[in-house]
């Protein structure tokens, strides 16, 4: 029986930008994922929610950003679930819904993954699905080697070896889950930069899709610079 694989790409998407879209498409293609599920969260567990844009706006912007790609799907699972959005709850819910014939590949940037030990039930989470960790300017993969061995032992560094990402996935025995490191993308854009540029009345053209640019302006988002939102966890 051949399994179908779908990607799950979680984030705050405040707002979605071209870095998100380019990485999602690249990973979808390289890993042979039939669809990439964008998962805008309700409340991010590791950010201060005070300056967060309402979930309805973030969700609408992700819909606008992904509309023209049939390989992209936007899921409302997290946006509709009250409270903090924990990835493990999302993956479990999706697995129940999709059944055994669909394998979930969870996609995250390296800056988020290095904090995995602070994620809810992270040990169980790593036993549920494959994870693809994507490089990001300013964050090296060296951090992963410093993680506890039970995590670093699962790592498959795609920069080494000859197999294509999809072949690597296909070779994994049933029930054996890995953390794949991919340096497929190097796009130096962040939502923080977009928010700051809008607050400073600077253009965000070519950094976000036109639809998102229009949505931001039509709804007057990010016009006043908020406090820094990352909190220590
Ligand atoms: P913020 O600056 O508000 O934290 P962000 O650009 O990091 O925004 P998030 O919504 O926090 O966007 O990120 C969602 C996911 O996408 C995270 O796993 C993050 O690491 C990843 N990501 C975002 N931008 C990039 C990028 N340019 N390159 C690689 N990964 C990225
Ligand atoms: Mg971030």
Residue 31 has pLDDT above 70, yes or no: yes
The mean pLDDT value for 184-199 works out to: 96
| pTM, 2 dp | 0.94
Closest by alpha carbon to 87, among 46, 124, 125? 125
Long-range Cβ contact pairs of 190-197 (< 8 A, separation 24 or more): 190/17, 190/19, 191/12, 191/13, 191/14, 191/15, 191/16, 191/17, 192/229, 194/15, 194/17, 194/222, 195/14, 195/15, 195/222, 195/225, 195/226, 196/225
Cβ–ligand 1 contact at 130 (below 6 Å): no
Report the C-alpha dihedral over residues 88, 92, 98, 100, rounded to 10 degrees: 110
Q: Please, which residues have CB within 8 angstroms of residue 228's CB and are 6 or more apart in sequence?
A: none
* Nearest alpha carbon, ligand 1 atom 25: 19
**Which tokens is 129 given?**
């699905």
Ligand 1 pocket mutation, candidates 190, 192, 197, 226, criterion most atoms within 8 A of CB:
190
Per the rule left: phi > 0, alpha: psi between -120 and 50, beta: everything else, 13 is left
- Interval between CA 97 and ligand 1 midpoint (Å): 27
pLDDT at res. 198: 98
- Class (C level, CATH) for 4-218: alpha beta
pLDDT digits (tens, 9 = 90+) for 72-99: 999 999 999 999 999 999 999 999 999 9
Contact 39 CB / ligand 1 (< 6 Å) = no
Give 142-155 pLDDT, tens digit per residue: 999 899 999 999 99
pLDDT at 1: 58
Higher pLDDT, 231 or 77: 77
Whether residue 49 is predicted with pLDDT greater than 90 in this model: the reply is: no
Q: Is 10 helix (H, G, I), strand (E, B) or coil?
A: strand
Nearest atom in ligand 1 to the alpha carbon of residue 229 is: 3
CA torsion through residues 56, 62, 64, 68, sign: negative
Which atom of ligand 1 is nearest to 107's Cα?
18
Under a CB-based contact definition with an 8 Å cutoff, are residues 12 and 40 in contact? Answer: yes
CA pair distance 144, 181, nearest whole angstrom: 9
Which residues are within 8 A (CB) of 146 and not within 5 positions of it... i.e. 6 or more apart? 152
50: confidence class by pLDDT, cuts 50, 70, 90 = confident
Q: Would you say residue 193 has pLDDT above 70?
A: yes
Closest CA to 60 of 106, 10, 16, 108: 16
Please write the tens of the pLDDT for every residue from 52-75: 999 999 999 999 999 999 999 999
CB of 12 shorter than 6 A to ligand 1: yes
- Strand pairing partners for 36? 7, 72
Structure tokens at 184: 């497929």
Question: What band does 228 get if pLDDT is binned at 50, 70 and 90?
Answer: very low
Ligand 1 pocket, 14 CB below 6 A?
Answer: yes
What is the per-residue pLDDT for 175? Answer: 86
187 lines ligand 1 (CB under 6 A): yes
């Amino acid at each position: 029986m051949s399994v179908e694989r779908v990607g799950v790409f979680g984030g705050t998407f405040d707002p979605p930008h071209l870095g998100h879209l380019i990485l999602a498409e690249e990973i979808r293609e390289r890993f042979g994922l039939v669809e990439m599920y964008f998962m805008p969260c309700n409340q991010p567990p590791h950010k201060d929610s005070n300056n967060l844009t309402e979930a309805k706006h973030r969700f609408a912007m992700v819909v606008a950003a992904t509309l023209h790609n049939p390989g992209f799907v936007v899921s409302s699972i997290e946006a509709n679930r009250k409270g903090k959005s924990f990835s493990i709850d999302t993956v479990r819910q999706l697995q129940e819904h999709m059944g055994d014939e669909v394998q979930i590949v969870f996609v995250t940037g390296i800056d988020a993954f290095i904090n995995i030990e602070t994620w809810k039930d992270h040990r169980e989470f790593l036993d549920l699905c494959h994870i693809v960790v994507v490089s990001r300017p300013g964050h090296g993969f060296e951090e992963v080697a410093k993680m506890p061995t039970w995590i670093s032992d699962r790592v498959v560094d795609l920069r080494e070896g000859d197999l294509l990402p999809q072949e690597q996935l296909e070779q994994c025995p049933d029930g054996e889950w890995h953390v794949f490191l991919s340096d497929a993308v190097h796009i130096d854009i962040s939502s923080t930069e977009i928010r700051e540029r809008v607050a400073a009345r600077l253009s965000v053209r070519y950094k976000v899709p036109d639809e998102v640019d229009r949505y931001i302006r039509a709804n007057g988002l990010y016009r006043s610079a908020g406090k820094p939102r990352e909190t220590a966890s």
